[in-house]
Structure 1
């Protein structure tokens, strides 16, 4: 993010690392501008806790719409905490909670204020936020096996080790969900972790392999 539509090292306000889909930084567009060379920019407000205003690139290789505007036939819940469905498009009247990994059929897309909602086949409404759901059936491993010695931890940051598995054990884990580190640190990239019974393990393919 820069304080001017013409991007220079001196005008840079903030750096945002490339993140996994569920952890990507969000911005509200409040205007457009062009650089001295005529390149389009978005004037935005940072929605990630900083609250600062500046300019970011408008190139689609770097940014995209936060909400679905066309109907995907189905979506998969990717938010680690799951997703609530509601009886009203204002997302009030909580009806059902869907866990991460569940695949939902979508009947249509409706607009509420500046955002969109996905109307499910059961008539309930969910957010059209792409950080919460992804179009299609998003397949994650059901089971992984340790290739080396691995540790299990209480947290997704892999702190507070609660168990060690030796290489000889070739431990097999049932994957209950997935998450990434540095969810709220937009200056750092993030790393995949698998949620398993009792905590979290690494998602690094050097240490675990998918067996199902």
Structure 2
């Protein structure tokens, strides 16, 4: 069986797209990872396919507000041994925040000593042009998401609205509420004896606290309990040392001190579908009532779409199913 591959030229002025027929057995693969400087995921990895000798494939780095990639595009070469490329995103330089005199609550000296930190969105929210929020000054809307996919913002200053409400100033100059019902700090700050891996992709342990320079030692799957012996602060980020001497992130999108309710099996109550992907875009088959399925993890649809709230799905053999209790019940 052959795979028909479409290629776009590196320079779009050089000519039209071309197509190549490649036997399935000769198909080669490459991966481009997108990471923040602390080693956490900045965007989903790009999985590319090609054939030996193909070196003109460019993987354009996605745009992430407030950050600049060290490579705008990656020239990918395919080889028998799968190649992995990494693009690192660094926070854009910021200047001390300035606010309207009527909204500011900080002195000039306080502004120059402000230490930036990261937050995540807990509920649906907007960013605004000014610290006094008005509907006609909304800039971006973010839907409520599961914590693993919640929007992340870097705070570079504070301000107050004309009515005295505290706001956070972000790297792009916009403002977001500081209400803790809507936003929270991205990293755990406490010392915990146990952490649990909550991210659908699991998490990695490294031999050092600065993940960009450290070496990955182990991968822990979603749901794995981790025993902690020490908490370490690395700039904005929190790291936790484990009993085996390795370090994991304290990012709330990846781990939690609260033990998750693990569902190991579900029984089908009403006919459901097994889907190839978590978004439910490709149906594989129907599953009739009475069937018992083993659950290996959980995830949420529309994870990386900031404008759509996600729906909980269970990961089972072959794909994903609904977690709706009207259709399945945990055994």
* TM-score over 0.5 for the pair: yes
* Consecutive unaligned residues in structure 2, runs of 5 or more: 1-126
Give the TM-score taking structure 2 as reference length. 0.60
1:98-177 correspondence runs (5 A): 98-167=220-289, 170-177=290-297
Partner of 2:92: none
1:14-53 correspondence runs (5 A): 14-45=140-171, 52-53=172-173
Greater gyration radius: 2
Q: Is the 8 A contact 1:73 1:136 kept in 2?
A: no
> Which string of whole-angstrom CA distances, capped at 9 and with x for unpartnered residues, describes residues 46-88 of structure 1?
xxxxxx4411111111111100111122111111111110110
Q: How many residues align?
A: 203
- More strand per residue: 1 or 2? 2
Partner of 1:49: none
Give distance in 2, aligned partners of 1:9 and 1:122: 52
Q: CA deviation at 1:144?
A: 0.6
Partner of 2:315: 195
Q: CA deviation at 1:139?
A: 2.0
Q: CA deviation at 1:135?
A: 0.9
Alignment counterpart, residue 4 of structure 1, candidates 123, 130, 133: 130
Give distance in 2, aligned partners of 1:25 and 1:13: 15
Give distance in 2, aligned partners of 1:53 and 1:178: 36
Q: Is the 8 A contact 1:67 1:130 kept in 2?
A: yes
Give the TM-score taking structure 1 as reference length. 0.93
Q: Which range moves more in the overlay, 132-141 or 94-103?
A: 132-141
Q: Which range moves more in the overlay, 15-24 or 148-157?
A: 15-24
> Which string of whole-angstrom CA distances, capped at 9 and with x for unpartnered residues, describes residues 100-159 of structure 1?
110101112101122111111222101110000111321221101111001101100112
Give distance in 1, aligned partners of 2:177 and 2:164: 12
Give distance in 1, aligned partners of 2:272 and 2:219: 33
> Does 2:189 correspond to 1:69?
yes
Partner of 2:207: 87
Q: What secondary structure does 2:144 align onto?
A: coil
Higher relative contact order (CA 8 A, sep 6+): 1
- In the TM superposition, structure 1's runs of 4+ consecutive aligned residues that sit over 2 Å from their partners are none
> Does 2:198 correspond to 1:78?
yes
Q: CA deviation at 1:15?
A: 1.2
